[in-house]
Chains A and B, each alone.
Chain A
Amino acid sequence: MPARQIAFGLALVALAALGPLVGSQYHQAFLLQLFMMVALAQSWNLISGMTGYVSFGHAAFFGVGAYAGTLFIQSGFPWWLAILNGSLIALALSVPLGFLTLRLRGAYFAVAMLGLNEVARIVATLWVSLTNGGSGITLQPAILPPLTVNYYLMLALAIVATIIVARVYHSRFGLELRAIREDEGAAEMIGVNTTRGKLTAFVLSALIPGAAGTVNVMYTSYINPSSAFDPSLNIQMIVMAMFGGSGTVWGPVLGASIVMGLREMLWAQYPALHLMFLGAMLLAVVLFLPGGIISLFTRKKVVRPEVMSTGDGERRG
Chain B
Amino acid sequence: MEEILDPIILGQLLIGGLLAGALYALLASGLNLVFGVMRVINIAHAEFMLVGAFGAYVLYTAFGLHPLLALFIVVPAVFGFGWFVQHALVERVVGQPMLTSLLATYGLSIVLLNIGVLIFTSDFKGVPALTGSLVFGEFVLPKPRAVAALVSIVFAVGVYLFLERTRLGKAVRAVSEHPHVATICGIDTKRIRMLTFGLAGAMAGAAGTMLSMIYSFAPESGADFIQKCFAIIVIGGMGNFAGALYGGILLGVVEAFVGGFLSTQWAEATAYLLLVLVLLIRPTGLKGAALAR
Given contacts A100-B276, A100-B280, A238-B103, contact A107 B41 (CB under 8 A): yes
Query: Nearest residue in A to B226 (C-beta to C-beta)?
Result: A114
Chain A's interface size range is 35 or more
A280 at the B interface (CB under 8 A): yes
Given contacts A114-B227, A122-B265, contact A108 B279 (CB under 8 A): yes
B77 at the A interface (CB under 8 A): no
Are B230 and A114 neighbours in the complex by a CB distance under 8 Å?
A: yes
Are B39 and A316 neighbours in the complex by a CB distance under 8 Å?
A: yes
Residues of A within 8 A of B114 (CB): 272-273, 275-276, 279
- Which of B92, B179, B226, B266 lies in contact with A126, CB distance below 8 A? B266
A306 at the B interface (CB under 8 A): yes
- Which of B117, B179, B223 lies in contact with A317, CB distance below 8 A? B179
Query: Nearest residue in A to B88 (C-beta to C-beta)?
Result: A287
- Which of B108, B179, B230 lies in contact with A111, CB distance below 8 A? B230
Are A283 and B266 neighbours in the complex by a CB distance under 8 Å?
A: no
Residues of A within 8 A of B107 (CB): 279-283, 286
A115–B276 Cα gap in the complex (Å)? 10
Residues of B within 8 A of A309 (CB): 97-99
Query: Nearest residue in B to A312 (C-beta to C-beta)?
Result: B98
- Stretch from A48-56, A157-165, A195-203 that touches the partner: A48-56
Query: Nearest residue in B to A317 (C-beta to C-beta)?
Result: B95
Residues of chain B from 124 to 139 with CB closer than 8 A to chain A in the complex: none
A306–B96 Cα gap in the complex (Å)? 6
A284–B99 Cα gap in the complex (Å)? 14
Are B95 and A279 neighbours in the complex by a CB distance under 8 Å?
A: no
Most chain B beta-carbon neighbours within 10 Å: one of A126, A286, A290: A286
Are B38 and A54 neighbours in the complex by a CB distance under 8 Å?
A: no
Are A118 and B279 neighbours in the complex by a CB distance under 8 Å?
A: no
Query: Nearest residue in A to B94 (C-beta to C-beta)?
Result: A317
Are B98 and A310 neighbours in the complex by a CB distance under 8 Å?
A: yes
Are A126 and B275 neighbours in the complex by a CB distance under 8 Å?
A: no
Are B227 and A118 neighbours in the complex by a CB distance under 8 Å?
A: yes
Residues of A within 8 A of B226 (CB): 114
A242 at the B interface (CB under 8 A): yes
Given contacts A122-B265, A122-B269, contact A54 B223 (CB under 8 A): no
Residues of A within 8 A of B223 (CB): 118, 231
Residues of A within 8 A of B93 (CB): 286-287, 305
Given contacts A287-B92, A317-B179, contact A114 B110 (CB under 8 A): no
Residues of B within 8 A of A103 (CB): 283
Residues of B within 8 A of A115 (CB): 227, 230-231, 271-272, 275
Residues of chain B from 268 to 293 with CB closer than 8 A to chain A in the complex: 268-269, 271-273, 275-276, 279-280, 283-284, 291, 293
A266 at the B interface (CB under 8 A): no
Are B230 and A308 neighbours in the complex by a CB distance under 8 Å?
A: no
A278–B107 Cα gap in the complex (Å)? 8
Given contacts A125-B265, A272-B117, A305-B96, contact A279 B275 (CB under 8 A): no
Looking at the assembled complex, report how far the CB atom of A260 sits from the nearest CB atom of chain B, in whole angstroms: 17
Given contacts A114-B43, A231-B223, A317-B38, contact A310 B97 (CB under 8 A): yes
Interface string of B233-254 (1 = CB under 8 A from A): 1100010000000000000000
Are B272 and A119 neighbours in the complex by a CB distance under 8 Å?
A: yes
A235 at the B interface (CB under 8 A): yes
Residues of B within 8 A of A281 (CB): 107
A112 at the B interface (CB under 8 A): yes
A118–B179 Cα gap in the complex (Å)? 36
Most chain A beta-carbon neighbours within 10 Å: one of B38, B39, B114: B114
A106 at the B interface (CB under 8 A): yes
Looking at the assembled complex, report how far the CB atom of B80 sits from the nearest CB atom of chain A, in whole angstroms: 20
Are A276 and B95 neighbours in the complex by a CB distance under 8 Å?
A: no
Looking at the assembled complex, report how far the CB atom of B99 sits from the nearest CB atom of chain A, in whole angstroms: 5
Residues of A within 8 A of B110 (CB): 235, 275-276, 278-279, 282
A6 at the B interface (CB under 8 A): no
B115 at the A interface (CB under 8 A): yes
Given contacts A100-B276, A101-B279, A238-B103, contact A283 B230 (CB under 8 A): no
- Which of B41, B118, B272, B293 lies in contact with A110, CB distance below 8 A? B41
Query: Nearest residue in A to B40 (C-beta to C-beta)?
Result: A316
List 15 extra interface pairs beyond A54-B103, A105-B293, CB under 8 A: A54-B102, A100-B276, A100-B279, A106-B99, A107-B291, A108-B291, A112-B275, A276-B114, A276-B118, A279-B106, A286-B104, A287-B93, A305-B96, A305-B99, A317-B38
12 CB contacts below 8 A, A to B, read A54-B98, A105-B293, A115-B231, A275-B110, A279-B107, A279-B114, A280-B107, A286-B107, A290-B100, A312-B97, A317-B95, A317-B179
A contacts, CB < 8 Å to B: 48, 52-54, 56, 100-101, 103-108, 110-112, 114-116, 118-119, 122-123, 125-126, 231, 235, 238, 242, 272-273, 275-276, 278-283, 286-287, 290, 305-310, 312-313, 315-317
Top 6 nearest A-B pairs (CB, nearest first) are: A279-B110, A317-B95, A282-B107, A276-B114, A283-B107, A279-B111
